[in-house]
A and B are shown apart, each in its own frame.
Chain A
């Protein structure tokens, strides 16, 4: 692997031992900061408070203080000074935030601000992109997801993902929904059928497709396809559901259905949703994080962010004056 060696030489501080055989790039952790190296002098080991005027997050200390509601939540994901690079350019500049359990957390911000990149970091989907490397930590139930001992396959099974563009596989509706079970080796027809029905009901799609489960998923409408993708994601019974602008390609009726669904999924799943649509964030989320240019600007309860934000930048964005 000539290339990997080159990468590690022009990137000091990255552990070159992380590059594996080229046959397994999916499970390769692309750039984990050497565990012996200090993450940052401004961050405590558990990453709860960011103080001391870090140059790249000028508001971080204010934000952490004012939204005390977040501290009372039980957290599933803890992001600690997380930085992500595409090649040489840095897309995320040290994000620190906690994602509360069984709540809907929305990530808002203008295009290109790193929302999707951050979301895709949670299940390490960015590992698929050759040029990506990361610094800092993301903890899932306290465990660093970039740790060598973490099985990325198992991690992804615990986090469902719904993409911006619906992407059902070119198979039948049934096979799409039970895909996660199939790849886990489940063969019992009764189990597959039960999960299929439960998941499709969960995604509010059962009544529309129950008579054509064996037809191709590609024959469905756009809104149905997206709900099928949600059904496929929840069939694996994940703890966290990551949604990357799930409604951006849908008409208002389909959008309303998906939003209703997200509302119903809270409590059962921890939902993190990236959205461009601020009404959507306001309607269906408990907490909202406003990101801008790869930084977390303000993060707090959705009501506060939209009605009474603490920072001028947040207010300007949520009221539509910029962005």
Chain B
């Protein structure tokens, strides 16, 4: 049966649409592949055992340029502390917005502020941290860095939690409430578990985002050439180490160290993602 002109037209249009979507997806994946490939090809040569086991060594000293043990440990501690503050605060805000506020004016304000905060340049957060947490304490410190990162996390976590909870069908809530569950029980036992997968994804994205932040840390945690575990002191991080080695060093050895740092930062975020996802799957699967 011959196609009418209109059928030909709609089919061609559909084909063109499909072609465009495929083409642009390919471009995105291509760019991503290019960046990652370039990074790996340069970075892997500089990743050695020293990188993981040694702190930076100054130029001229034995073992120059050393490694980034201080940065790796520092970043993990900073992420941990930031998560400790940012995830509960963000999630509880999200739960409030999705479950308790129901159209109140307060919720509209909170939502608006969260959206604005999501878009605030991170250097602004750094300066805020400097004014509020560094100046009063008299020195750069890890807590200020962690709190600055938490401040970036909170709106991200709050808004994703809210959106994911709203996707949980109302029928779950009704069923639970009709069985005599309180609102808190319903949220904790039914709504949150039902949304767990996507809430965790949102949290992971927030962690990945702050793990790569440099600007707020420059103003708060600053850096240290040593392995520091007490966050009351100036605190090293992978990102600031990368920045110092890449942008503020004349030595090619330190430039290579920065490349390795970038690669390891990428792998670190990837590994964190994987671990959290697998744990979440194991936990929800057991139920």
Contact = CB atoms under 8 A, between A and B. Distances in A.
Interface string A153-185: 110110111010101011110010001101110
A156 B182 contact: no
Nearest to A180: B179
A170 B180 contact: no
B189 A182 contact: yes
A301 B175 CA distance: 30
Interface stretch (B100-108, B206-214, B249-257): B100-108
Contacts of A251: none
B11 interface: no
Contact of A180 (B100, B173, B180, B183): B180
Contacts, number: 91
Nearest to B101: A22
Interface in B166-224: 169, 171-183, 185-186, 189-190, 193-194
A236 B179 contact: yes
Nearest to B197: A170
B169 A153 contact: no
A25 B173 CA distance: 13
A77 to B, nearest CB: 16
B248 interface: no
Contact of B172 (A169, A182, A236, A242): A169
B104 to A, nearest CB: 6
A163 B189 contact: no
Main secondary structure of the interface of A (DSSP, over half): mixed
Interface in A90-139: 123, 125, 128, 130
Contact of B180 (A1, A22, A128, A236): A236
B178 A123 contact: yes
Contact of A183 (B172, B174, B180): B180
B176 A23 contact: no
A172 B183 contact: no
Interface in A231-284: 232-233, 236, 242
A316 B143 CA distance: 76
Most chain A CB neighbours (cut-off 10 Å) among B173, B181, B186: B181
Given A128-B173, A169-B190, A232 B183 contact: no
Interface in B20-75: none
A26 B190 contact: no
Nearest to B173: A128
A21 B49 CA distance: 59
A175 B104 CA distance: 35
Interface string B218-260: 0000000000000000000000000000000000000000000
B178 A161 contact: yes
Contacts of A37: none
B102 A156 contact: no
Interface residues of A, number: 38
A156 B180 contact: yes
Interface residues of B, number: 27
A167 B174 CA distance: 9
B186 to A, nearest CB: 8
Most chain B CB neighbours (cut-off 10 Å) among A171, A229, A232: A171
Nearest to A21: B100
A3 interface: yes
A3 B103 contact: yes
B100 A25 contact: yes
B171 A163 contact: yes
Contacts of A163: 171, 174-175, 178
A60 B243 CA distance: 83
Contacts of A182: 189
B174 A3 contact: no
B177 A183 contact: no
B92 to A, nearest CB: 12
Contact of B100 (A22, A156, A160, A172): A22
Interface string A279-313: 00000000000000000000000000000000000
Contacts of B100: 22-23, 25
Contacts of A233: 178-179
Interface in A182-209: 182-184
B182 A153 contact: yes
B98 to A, nearest CB: 13
Contacts of A165: 171
Given A22-B101, A179-B176, A182-B189, 19 more contacts: A1-B104, A3-B103, A27-B183, A125-B174, A153-B181, A153-B182, A156-B179, A157-B179, A160-B178, A161-B179, A165-B171, A169-B172, A169-B176, A169-B190, A169-B194, A171-B287, A183-B185, A232-B179, A236-B180
Interface of B: 100-105, 169, 171-183, 185-186, 189-190, 193-194, 287
8 contacts: A2-B104, A167-B175, A169-B172, A170-B172, A171-B193, A179-B181, A180-B179, A180-B180
Interface of A: 1-3, 22-27, 123, 125, 128, 130, 153-154, 156-157, 159-161, 163, 165, 167, 169-172, 175, 179-180, 182-184, 229, 232-233, 236, 242
